[in-house]
A and B are shown apart, each in its own frame.
Chain A
Amino acid sequence: MKNTNPNEAGVEQAVPQKPKKSFSFSEKIIKRLTLTFFAVVWLLLAFLESAQLFRVHDLSLFLFTEQFFKEMMVAPAGLLSYIGCFLIQFFYYPALGAAIYVALLFAVYYLVRKVFAISARWSLTALLPVVFLLASNMFMGYWIYYNKLQGLFYIAVVGTIFVLLAMWACKKLPMWAKFIFVALWSVVGYPFFGIYALVGAFLMALQALCGKGNIAARVALLLLSLALAGALPALAYGNLYTSTSQPLMYAAGIPAYQFSLATEAWYIKRVWMLWMPFVLLFVTMVLFAIFSDRVEGKKVTDRYTMCQAALCAIIVLATWGFWYSDSNFTTELKQHRAMWDEDWERVAELGKTSCAPTRLIVMNRNIALLHLGRAGEEMFHYPDGSAIPESTMNVRLVQTGGKMAYYQYGRFNFCYRWCVEDAVEYGWKVEYLKHAVRSMIASGQYKTARRYVEILKHTLFHASWAEKYEKMIYNIKLADKAPEISFPRLMFKYRDTLDVDESHVEAYLLNQMTSNLFVKPTPVCAEASLMHALIRKDTQLFWNAIVEYLNTHKQLRIPTHYQEALLLYANIDRRADVSKFKFDKKIEQRFRDFSKLTSKYRGMTEEQMAPYFKDDFGDTYWYFYFFIRDIKSN
């Protein structure tokens, strides 16, 4: 835009005109946009993703012990893991954790600008690494359950900060000193920062190569960085580190699943998108290193404006595009947290939010209704089904919520078993330790419970939780008074058997809860058994379960769904006599209406009939029995 002063131009100013405003990416605007970006990211993390952040913290562990530090350092990039685990624990308070995370992202932005001398006019470009770092975390979704790299959420961010700090220091050095610095940084940095040290050395050399000075020296520096990147992991393999395979020595600090050298096409296909943020981060940094100090010019041209607009679009689209969003995933996370808080009303309520729920949502909701004593009235009021979790991988219930389900149904040995199995594969987490404590107390294995209590006492935010349960170990009466222990114990009334679940949690529970293994079942036991019999839609299992239920529930009125089931199964199994049961007139009438409607649409497939029944009978067991089919659970 060309600014002209009317007076200077000698034009008479008759009527004051409003200056024509056009949008331009002034430094002020860019600064505001940048700050808005960080503010929005914080808001999204702190509020929209608070359940996920909390679960990320729950699926991590940091102990204030020397031993924990030593265990982290057994692999290259151990320091990053240690720092990562330390920082992740603050997601216990999602808003605080998000603030720390965003502050570190801002540090990356700031350092990128400093290291690559990016002017205020082009400072939006410095947001690109930030976006890709954010993407590397927010794109994971269900992968959070399958991460083997401790401290993952922060590793890339902290690793990048260390790289940038080193580059900043290196940049100021004379060429001869750069050789020493790059060598030292690589050798000393590799154990602490893994691949980030090697990439950092390469970027330092690349930046020097694209700078000024003796070309031979600059090329030699680049070759040195490449040689060190090739040699150090090979030298460290087996000599310094024995717990990492040789190929993965070159990927220390990057999640193995994201840098798998597997050749299987299915695996590559599933994870390649997860690699993208890391690839893009690297490419961006390389481009910065090549073009640093070269972008000049102060004119606000159309081309500049378009560039800035394009940058804004890329930033927004990349952030949005890489941000995993799935309502079932979020619901599961919220339910899980509410279950730990014993907020069963909320767990049940959340079960209504999805019209195509996953099995975990349905299972959680049924557990909540069992706690609330409303299963017989409500369990078929809610959406049902078996939506497959939105993920590139085969998500198993046992990792997402199976341990909690086993615990709630009094399968304490199996809850504990999966804590240990998953701890072997993914490392001990706060969540596993807490399950281990509760399941061992509930099953009377106090010595084992005590060991996990001792570990939790070394955490920042769970020491008081551990102390609470430690008191129960020494005074079991306290456990009897604690609903989170005493309620599942009501279902711990079955004979011991030798068994395997083949990692199919729901199928195993459906079989076990309807088996005849219960010894003197409590009312809760009998109801849980009946609920599972209803889900299995097995006539004989239903009759067994309803008899046990009626024997343990002497109240006058049989709950609605159980009346519905009695009418249905009596209709299917003509031998059964239900005349002695007192049915609600309304339910009997509805069943007659349901039967009439069935006759009316005879000849149609179940799929064709379902919509005609949905409005009037969608809240009945009959609808579930006939129209909720092909439930798949894993």
Chain B
Amino acid sequence: MKKGLTKWFTGMMIGTLLLTTAGCGGGSAPAANSVSEGAGTAKIGVVAYLSGGGAAYGQSQKEGLDLAKDEINALGKVKIELVYEDSRGNNTEAINAVNKLINKDNVVALIGPTLSGEMFASGPIANQSEVPIMGTSTTAEGITDIGEFVFRNALPESSAVPQAVKMAVEKYNLKKVAIMYSSNNDWAVSGYKTMAQALKDNGVEVLATETFADKDTDFSAQLTKISSLKPDAVMVSSLYQEAALVLKKAREIGITVPFVGTNGFNSPELIKIAGQAADGAIVASPWYPGKESEKITKFVTDYKAKYNKVPDQFAAQSYDALYIYASALEKAGSSTDRAKLRDSLATIKDFQGVTGKFAFDEKRNPLMDATVLIVKDGQFTELK
């Protein structure tokens, strides 16, 4: 009996091994191949945070990309196929995803990953393999310093946050503020540093700096402490999930001052979770669905028709990113040449997207303007 079991077990192990190696060795799986053999379809790999705590970001990005892909393919100038990989917000997973997309799926270019930390981990791999990679939500400092092949159309915090801080300081005559940020998130820490610098530049005193961690749910201790210091405003650098809970708790314990946030504030989810508590939240955003423009109205209508919700910044920037790739592909005249695509991407300027006029600067960062928004009665409105 025992021997029989062992044999059976060994059999199973060999079977599994065969199965897994077959899976790996499959190189370009036949199914995927037959689709991409079509007349010059460009295969673009997408690494996004599609499951786990920040899956809402990745979901928005996927929706924006899918919408853009359908429109671009309908126009017919270039054909694009998207291959999605889930990074789960995890640096190792992002590295695996980038490796797989480059070596197995043979993509011509990459979009993503969602988080700046993931980009710092996986960007160097794309750069070494000489595959263009464009972040649509990677706003931390130093992203494009990774290398020549790394681009982003995400407005860096260093450009957006000071605009929000300056506007809030002028508008509300801020003298002393408190800061809160998520200390285990690369991007939030970078946002915090930019914030602190902007406050210093504007001569605002910082009363207290409190930290928390991503996925924290209890902020009562930090906020009780901040409440006793009576600041004119609170600055928060975190993803929307934590930001919304911070706002909620703050309003609950009677902190009524404005909250200035980094990019994490910039999502309808913030309002959905925090409800009324979100009123008075200030953020600078390249994306504002209320802007008067034919292009934006059309995008919002189409997006609403397809997904039954208003696109957020993540959807809008991903939508633009795919159009940027499409025009670069068109100029490059090849759907497989990675180096040509990179060079043509670097020359993109005067691109008109839903997030406004767009160009890459010499460091492959976006040149674009932000609008400072404030939440009023559960709606993002322009702070004037």
State yes or no: do A and B come from one complex. Answer: no
Q: Which residues of B contact A (CB under 8 A)?
A: none
